[in-house]
């Protein structure tokens, strides 16, 4: 059972993954119809033989080769949804694919390799915070095997009790006052009109930054770390570290609130970059972030002087559209995912690749906990498990009781659900202490 899961992970590691950020700079910056078109086109290639190319050195787990855009395409902004993403009745291509697959299943014509495996006994019960806590405590009594999985050694060797991986998105930081990206009326993209952009995503495009840097610099001045306090969610992740259970926190956020919460840098991976470092986009020269901040605060005269000094515009090392994700993201994803026994996914729409695909590349026995305002990442039961993993369109089974073995959804505000999980772990006093220490925004008390 466990070995089966490890075989799955090792197999997925052999496939290349897109090394560039697709569709968006943050998990809440996506366009659903365009996403459906991309995913469906990838699905049409699911049986295409491999071209035999060796995966890149920094390849991460499991993704079809077809997902990787060519360099020119990767640098183009996401096109608006058009007729290519739907049929004449407005039905998305992913929905059409699901209907066709279901018709094949009903007719008994679904290829054998796409048939879902028979259900296994559940890894935990019940599928609640209490069930997660019981599983969490049980794992503490049986440290994981520290030996390499799939031939990938730990560098450096790590505590075998560190078996929890966190994937975080914009929802972790909204309680701090940092807007997410898609919420109507309050999301960042709905409030960028003051920058007179051609379209909202332009503010995170290199070409537009070269033409009109003052728009991004104005936004960077608003978002620069130090303005906001970490939330109860960040402090819950800090507790996972303090208790010796956090293996890694992969975050899509650029706000550096993980560092502000006291989570050591070696435990964090900023998949989409952050403000901790800065670089000249033309010369590659590294620039002290404090110097960049001072230049941005000084307005046009400041950033122009900085440009002249370093031979080009300087920006924080935030991943813009078409830029490659950090090598460290791929290295540690390959290293950590086969070893984690609990994956906690917090505050993300699971819509931006390659980050979203990580949920599919843990061991088959790994418990996956979604903490989010909305029910996301669900596998459409009409799409076979193997194909859902391949596409990254959603592989969580919490909405499918007949097939769910290990997935839990704790829906609501991230802070409230993290407090509930902390209470189930017996950490309420510890979390309250940190909230008071850091001045974190407080949520309403949990019901008695």
Active site residue 272: yes
| Backbone φ/ψ region at 407: left (φ over 0), alpha (ψ -120 to 50), beta | beta
The answer to whether the peptide bond before residue 126 is cis (omega within 30 degrees of 0) is yes
Q: What are the percentages of helix, strand and coil residues in the chain, rounded to 5?
A: 40, 10, 45
Q: How many CA atoms lie within 13 A of 380 on its CB side?
A: 16
For residue 440, give the DSSP letter.
P
**CB-count burial class (<10 Å; 0-12, 13-18, 19+) for 195:** middle
Q: Taking the CB of residue 279, how many other CB atoms lie within 10 A of it?
A: 18
**Rounded distance, CA 440 to CA 220, Å?**
22
Among 8, 234, 241, 272, the active-site one is 272
Phi-psi sector, 107: left (phi>0), alpha (psi -120 to 50), beta: alpha
> Is cis: bond before 171, omega within 30 of 0?
no
Residue 24 token pair: 């968006």
CB neighbours of 77 closer than 8 A, spacing ≥ 6?
A: 199, 201, 202, 205, 321
Whose structure tokens read 């670089």?
279
Select from 91, 86, 81 the least CA-distant residue to 23: 81
Task: State both tokens at 209.
Answer: 């930054």
C-alpha–C-alpha distance, residues 78 and 24, integer Å: 8
Residues taking part in catalysis? 272
């Amino acid at each position: 059972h466990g070995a089966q899961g490890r075989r799955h992970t090792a197999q997925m590691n052999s496939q290349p993954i897109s090394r560039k950020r697709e569709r968006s700079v943050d998990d809440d910056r996506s366009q659903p119809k365009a996403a459906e078109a991309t995913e469906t086109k990838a699905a049409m290639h699911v049986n295409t033989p491999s071209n035999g190319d060796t995966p890149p050195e920094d390849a991460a787990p499991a993704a079809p080769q077809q997902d990787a855009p060519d360099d020119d395409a990767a640098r183009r902004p996401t096109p608006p949804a058009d007729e290519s993403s739907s049929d004449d009745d407005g039905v998305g291509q992913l929905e059409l694919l699901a209907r066709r697959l279901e018709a094949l299943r009903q007719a008994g014509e679904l290829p054998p390799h796409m048939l879902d495996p028979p259900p296994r006994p559940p890894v935990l019960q019940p599928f609640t915070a209490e069930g997660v806590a019981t599983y969490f405590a049980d794992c503490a009594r049986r440290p994981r095997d520290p030996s390499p999985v799939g031939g990938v050694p730990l560098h450096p060797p790590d505590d075998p009790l560190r078996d929890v991986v966190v994937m975080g998105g914009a929802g972790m930081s909204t309680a701090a006052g940092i807007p997410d990206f898609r919420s109507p009326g309050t999301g960042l993209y709905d409030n960028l009109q003051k920058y007179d952009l051609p379209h909202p995503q332009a503010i995170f495009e290199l070409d537009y930054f070269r033409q009109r840097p003052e728009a991004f610099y104005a936004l960077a001045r608003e978002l620069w770390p130090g303005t906001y306090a970490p939330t109860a969610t960040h402090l819950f992740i800090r507790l996972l570290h303090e208790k010796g259970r956090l293996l890694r926190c992969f975050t899509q956020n650029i706000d550096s609130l993980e560092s502000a919460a006291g989570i050591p840098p070696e435990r964090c991976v900023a998949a989409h970059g952050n403000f901790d470092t800065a670089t000249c986009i033309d010369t590659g020269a590294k620039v002290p972030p404090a110097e960049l901040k001072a230049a941005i605060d000084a307005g046009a005269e400041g950033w122009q002087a900085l440009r002249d000094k370093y031979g080009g515009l300087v920006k924080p090392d935030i991943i813009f559209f078409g830029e490659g994700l950090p090598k460290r993201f791929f290295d540690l994803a390959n290293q950590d995912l086969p070893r984690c026994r609990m994956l906690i996914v917090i505050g993300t729409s699971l819509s931006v690749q390659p980050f979203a695909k990580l949920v599919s590349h843990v061991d088959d026995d790994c418990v996956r906990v979604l903490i989010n305002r909305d029910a996301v990442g669900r596998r459409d039961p009409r799409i076979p498990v193997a194909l859902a993993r391949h596409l990254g369109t959603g592989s969580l089974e919490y909405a499918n009781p007949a097939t769910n073995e290990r997935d839990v959804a704790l829906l609501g505000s991230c802070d409230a659900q993290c407090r509930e999980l902390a209470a189930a772990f017996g950490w309420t006093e510890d979390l309250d202490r940190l909230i008071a220490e850091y001045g974190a925004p407080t949520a309403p008390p949990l019901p008695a």
